[in-house]
Amino acid sequence: MNKYELAKKINELEGLTNDEKSELIKLLRSQKKYGLVWEDKPEDAEQRMVNEQPVLVEVPERAIISDDAEAPNHILIEGDNLEALTALSYTHAGKIDVIYIDPPYNTRKKDFKYNDTYVDPEDDYSHSTWLSFMEKRLKIAKKLLAATGVIYIQIDDREYAPLKLLCDSIFMESNCIGPFIQNKLNAKNDTLNVQRNHEYILCYRKMVKYIDDSQTKVAPNILISNKIYKPLIKEDEKFFYLNDSITTRGEGGTLNARPNLGYSFYYHPSTKELLPIVDYDVNMAKTSNDESAIYTSKEELLMKGFVVIRPPKVRGKLGCWTWDFKKATKDKNLLYVKKTKSRYNIHKRTFVPKDKVEQIADETYVYEEDVYSNSKSILEYSTNEGTDSFVEVMGYDTGFNNPKNVRMIEYLMSIIPNKDSIVLDFFAGTGTTLHALMLLNEEDGGHRRCILSNNNENGICEKVTYERNRKVIQGYTTPKGEEVPGLKVNNLRYYKTHLLPREQTIRNKRALVAASTDLLCIKNDVYAEQERFAGKKLKPSCARYFDNGQTKMLVIYNELTVNAFAETIYHMEVDGKILIYVFSNTRYAYDDNFEDVLDKVELCALPAAIYDAYRNILPEQEMKFEDPMTESENDSDNEVTSDDSSNQVVSSEHDTQLSFDFK
């Protein structure tokens, strides 16, 4: 009996309620043929969000703002990361390019806390508890990743195997780029077992079809720091160095495999003249390996002093060129003939700008070249170095368990080619990810932005995560007394998670919109609030306006003022579009009122857009309410009551209730 037939039988059972039948069918469909099976463990943060939903509220006194208007905006969120991830599902769904996390390892030490209690690793359900914890967060993380995004997850042996299966089920096994292995170089001795000198970093892409994308992916080759000098050849006041020859090895490089690429070069050693000439039987070249039978040398050229250069043999067979005859004729000036003891070889020239050439001796010229290396799966980065870099900034050791190596995280970020990427770390710990990202931006001129999330147990978010990166931005003095200048072209903004009721009454909807302004600033990366709109002073209780010179955002809390704003915008010269978020009891964003300026605005109804983002993230509610988008409810305690809920077009009689201060 298959699952379909069994589900049909369940529906036909008597004595069960519809809810009971639904639960049985849900359980039936959840059973797997292969993979992880564990008992889900309820979590306090998840239970809180049954009846409440998160927003982010800025702590403005902790903001660190650069004088440089182009400085990237980094965000630190204090609070439970499940709540923070839920809030980010509205601001950053499909926008995160890179996620790096170093979650608790669930080791035999007290490193994994669940519902404010350390989990005993000897508990029979410790793995289930850890998997429940990780699954909830990784499912949201996948929604946040851009289509071209990647995620790094650092872990040790204890949970590596279940984590790999969990990630295969969430991200799909085909999207696994493979584990990086960190050789920690200084692991502690283990007198009972094999000394563990490594950790794993699992890496998954969001979607395999984007592996050829030129932006966010794991690069096969990366720039490494040391450079080399290439010797140059000078010819007619031009400088060049030699690349590989225009031949290839392997079966694909034989003349039989590519018979159209067997032409010859005729070269005059005295005049340096180089002539590509077809002097062979192409049809015979498909099957024969007899050079004397296939080729017929041009005797008249040989008589003039030319020598013939043919493709070198490949595994005992006649070879071919990688350039076709047309390209060889057109670009022969890019070729260079070099003589060895036994033959002449063809090489490609790479020309170098004259101003990049350095003369180090008579007739000896060199060119400084960047060195690239393949991305490697074995990473040798000491854990002690992570502690050392932390102590250098903070001046003391907090006892935090193994801060991550800054250079290693720099490396993981550097193999993502997109220098404008958004990076997320929702197990921020001591804040190493942001530290590494700011260093990398400084080194390669990138404009990466970082989002950190951390709880504040024992004040770690305020006193460690924030303080470390504040010092990195503003500058610090090492324990040895050395002054380290700050990475000042960075902004850091501090937020806390805050919960609001989920029950969708008018009062709660207005409260959600009023509390969501910081979410909107994060979503659109615009924080510069303006007191005036079109020269008129705004009343913050009715509307707020943000403009950073690139993005313009207007948030309207009092829907009775939309006509006044529409009229004002009609007379404005607008470069680009103004993002307008407006309170609405339904999904209607007052398109009719803005009809004459739709080319100048982009409208969004709130809180409907937030509800939509949270819909598949928040746990199921214990109670059911009316459809929030069709509810029509008057609340006498509200400053403004809902008028015609059928279309919510604001009539002219309300035009006097403006959000402007004309005094």
Q: Where are the beta strands (DSSP E) in 48-144?
A: 52-58, 73-78, 96-101, 113-114, 117-118
Q: What pLDDT digit, counting tens, does each position of 298-334 carry?
A: 999 999 999 999 999 988 899 999 999 999 999 998 9
pLDDT value of position 240: 80
pLDDT value of position 657: 40
pLDDT value of position 472: 97
Cβ contact 233:242 at 8 Å: yes
| Separation of alpha carbons 79 and 56, rounded Å | 10
Instruction: Read off the pLDDT of each residue in 369-386 and give the average, rounded to a whole number.
Output: 74
> Strand, helix or coil at 544?
strand
Instruction: Read off the pLDDT of each residue in 211-218 and give the average, rounded to a whole number.
Output: 48
Residue matched to tokens 């924080």:
527
Q: What pLDDT digit, counting tens, does each position of 280-303 carry?
A: 999 999 999 999 999 999 999 999
| Separation of alpha carbons 52 and 48, rounded Å | 6
| Separation of alpha carbons 652 and 660, rounded Å | 16
Q: Phi/psi at 570 (nearest 5 deg)?
A: -60, -35
How crowded is residue 343: how many other Cβ atoms within 10 Å of its Cβ? Answer: 11
Cβ contact 659:538 at 8 Å: yes
pLDDT value of position 315: 83
Instruction: Please give the mean pLDDT across all residues of the chain.
Output: 84
pLDDT value of position 216: 44
Nearest to 487 by CA among 421, 393, 385: 393
Q: What sign does the CA torsion over 237, 240, 246, 247 have? A: positive
Q: What pLDDT digit, counting tens, does each position of 409-468 carry?
A: 999 999 888 999 999 999 999 999 999 999 999 999 999 999 999 999 989 999 999 999
| Identity at 443, one-letter amino acid code | E
- 375, β-bridge pairs: none
Alpha helices, DSSP H only, in 37-101? Answer: 44-48, 81-91
| Separation of alpha carbons 443 and 428, rounded Å | 22
Report cis status (omega within 30 of 0) of the bond before 353: no
pLDDT value of position 94: 96
The pair of structure tokens assigned to 480 is 């040895």
Banded model confidence at residue 203, pLDDT cuts 50, 70, 90? very high
38-222+376-496 CATH: 3.40.50.150
| Separation of alpha carbons 371 and 257, rounded Å | 34
Distances in Å between the alpha carbon of 138 and those of 81, 248, 472, 497?
Answer: 11, 45, 30, 19
Lowest mean pLDDT among 48-62, 103-117, 275-289, 644-658: 644-658
**Choice between 206 and 231, residue whose per-residue pLDDT is larger:** 206
Q: What pLDDT digit, counting tens, does each position of 78-91 carry?
A: 999 999 999 999 99
> Strand, helix or coil at 387?
helix
Cβ contact 511:606 at 8 Å: no
Nearest to 528 by CA among 506, 507, 510, 551: 551
| Identity at 473, one-letter amino acid code | I
Q: Is the pLDDT of residue 639 over 80?
A: no
| Separation of alpha carbons 517 and 468, rounded Å | 28
| Separation of alpha carbons 11 and 392, rounded Å | 66
Q: What sign does the CA torsion over 491, 492, 497, 498 have? A: negative
| Separation of alpha carbons 437 and 410, rounded Å | 6
The pair of structure tokens assigned to 606 is 């709130």
Tell me 347's DSSP state: E
pTM, to two decimals: 0.71
| Identity at 480, one-letter amino acid code | K
Banded model confidence at residue 369, pLDDT cuts 50, 70, 90? low
End-to-end Cα distance, the chain: 78
Q: Is the pLDDT of residue 112 over 50?
A: no
pLDDT value of position 341: 82
Opening angle at CA 499, ends 493 and 502, nearest 5: 135
pLDDT value of position 109: 53
Angle between helices 517-524 and 506-515 (to 10 degrees): 50
Q: What pLDDT digit, counting tens, does each position of 340-356 carry?
A: 888 899 988 888 887 77
pLDDT value of position 188: 62
Distances in Å between the alpha carbon of 58 and those of 130, 244, 493, 534, 554?
Answer: 31, 57, 7, 27, 18
Q: Is the pLDDT of residue 638 over 60?
A: no
The percent of residues above 90 in pLDDT, for the chain, comes to: 59
How crowded is residue 394: how many other Cβ atoms within 10 Å of its Cβ? Answer: 19
Cβ contact 167:153 at 8 Å: yes
| Separation of alpha carbons 255 and 295, rounded Å | 12
| Separation of alpha carbons 433 and 140, rounded Å | 20
Q: Phi/psi at 347 (nearest 5 deg)?
A: -125, 160
Q: Is the pLDDT of residue 76 over 80?
A: yes
pLDDT value of position 529: 97
| Separation of alpha carbons 503 and 375, rounded Å | 50
Distances in Å between the alpha carbon of 578 and those of 550, 552, 553, 560, 594?
Answer: 10, 5, 6, 19, 12
* Residue-range domain boundaries for the chain: 1-31, 38-222+376-496, 232-362, 503-615
| Separation of alpha carbons 454 and 434, rounded Å | 12
DSSP per residue over 394-461, as a string?
A: HSS----S-PPPHHHHHHHHHTS--TT-EEEESS-TTTHHHHHHHHHHHHH----EEEEEE--GGGHI
Tell me 334's DSSP state: G
pLDDT value of position 114: 43
Instruction: Read off the pLDDT of each residue in 556-562 and give the average, rounded to a whole number.
Output: 96
Q: Phi/psi at 650 (nearest 5 deg)?
A: -80, 125
pLDDT value of position 149: 94
Nearest to 562 by CA among 650, 489, 445: 650
